[in-house]
Amino acid sequence: MLEFHRIPLDRVDWELLDSYADRVVMQRRGWLEFVRAVTGGEIVIAQIEQAGQTVGFYSGILFRRCGVPILGSPFRGWTTAYMGFNLHPDVSRIAAVIGLDRFALRQLGCLHYEVMDRWLSAEGLSGESVAELGIPFRIVRNLGTDLTRSEDELFADMDSACRRAIRKSEKSGITIEHAEPAGFAEEFHLHLQDVFAKQGMRPTFGVDRVRQLIKHVYPSGDLLLARVRDPEGRSIATGIYPGFRGFSLFWGNGSLRPYQIHRPNEALHWYAMRYFKQQGIPLHDWGGRATYKAKYGVSTFSVVAFRKSRFGIIRYARDLAEKIYYYPRHLRRARYKAAVNAH
């Protein structure tokens, strides 16, 4: 039986939390401050105890949607991949989920909560045992690259077209640099708009989201801001990659269509992979299963995401809101593809 006790924010020992081997970048103070800024919520840090001994911590954000109190760790739409728990190695993460259920619904009085822990792997659990919890869950399948291998091995695992694109970018005379934060959000979002415009769409978030990310996370050193310049010195692509201890993450990148001949996107990703490998980070997470990512020589891994509502109507409203938000985007993408194929 694990017990959760919320810690006042001014009493949180951030260095202690960061010392946990399973700590991820989205649990760090800067990232939590970023999510608090974009949601208007409260940071929740809870000490987890077993038989009176501290065995870990939980990180999340308490916010309200249409007046409903919700605990997210994380929540859909936050551009945040994982949060969850930091635990001693011999403590069960499933037991932590059970403890979170009581903490969220009873102690905090939330009507809905969600949690996706990076290390709660679907491969190590049976579907039957998870289902017995009585907490609705889904399996999230993502893509990753093992950075402990040599650069030659990483490059060889990419498909031939991707390798050719990277070689072409190198021969074209482009340069890739670490960008300073001033003005980068606007530059990145401009590039991102061009990517979405190609599909007749708009980005899922505004430039202020990027400003807040850089403001709160960049000072910690957890954020790689990368820029590609063409041979004439023009900025033609940008990328954002957070990373800390156990893994790095592809958060987003954008590029200008007139300069795709230089293959800046492949060059950016290869640059980020090598950068984090040099930092000693063992895994690069591609942040989703988009088909174009397979060419980088990735492998699939799965995590379990839990979400529960106190009342069925709240779960229905949450699912409906998600469909309303995302369905028009899928419809516009389908219409765009149909128009392209028609020509």
The model's pLDDT over 294-306, given as tens digits with 9 standing for 90+, comes to 999 999 999 999 9
At 275 the pLDDT is 98
> Quick check: 288 pLDDT over 90?
no
Give the confidence band of 200 by pLDDT, cuts at 50, 70, 90: confident
**Separation between Cα atoms, residue 182 and residue 284, nearest integer Å:** 26
**Separation between Cα atoms, residue 308 and residue 222, nearest integer Å:** 31
Give the confidence band of 337 by pLDDT, cuts at 50, 70, 90: very low
Higher-confidence residue of 181 and 121: namely 181
Percent of the chain surpassing pLDDT 90: 81
Q: Which fold, 3-136+306-310?
A: Aminopeptidase (3.40.630)
**Separation between Cα atoms, residue 192 and residue 208, nearest integer Å:** 13
At 126 the pLDDT is 57
Percent of the chain surpassing pLDDT 70: 88
At 221 the pLDDT is 96
At 111 the pLDDT is 96
At 66 the pLDDT is 87
The pair of structure tokens assigned to 80 is 């945040």
> Quick check: 176 pLDDT over 60?
yes
CATH class of 148-281: alpha beta
> Quick check: 152 pLDDT over 60?
yes
At 1 the pLDDT is 87
The pair of structure tokens assigned to 162 is 């991707």
Per DSSP, helices labelled H in the chain are 14-18, 29-39, 93-102, 127-131, 151-157, 160-171, 184-197, 207-217, 264-278, 312-342
Give the confidence band of 150 by pLDDT, cuts at 50, 70, 90: very high
Higher-confidence residue of 334 and 340: namely 334
At 289 the pLDDT is 87
Give the confidence band of 198 by pLDDT, cuts at 50, 70, 90: confident
> Quick check: 137 pLDDT over 70?
yes
**Separation between Cα atoms, residue 207 and residue 78, nearest integer Å:** 14
* Prediction pTM value: 0.90
List the helix and strand counts (H, then E) for the chain.
10, 14
3-state DSSP assignment of residue 269: helix
At 256 the pLDDT is 97
At 329 the pLDDT is 52
> Quick check: 36 pLDDT over 70?
yes
Averaged pLDDT for residues 320-328? 53
At 199 the pLDDT is 84
At 341 the pLDDT is 34
What's the pLDDT tens digit per position in 230-260? 999 999 999 999 999 999 999 999 999 999 9
What's the pLDDT tens digit per position in 46-66? 999 999 999 999 999 999 998
Query: Where are the CATH 3.40.630.30 domain residues in the chain?
Result: 3-136+306-310, 148-281
What average pLDDT does the structure give for the chain?
Answer: 90
Contact yes or no for 307/120 (Cβ under 8 A): no
| Residue pointed to by tokens 């998870």 | 130
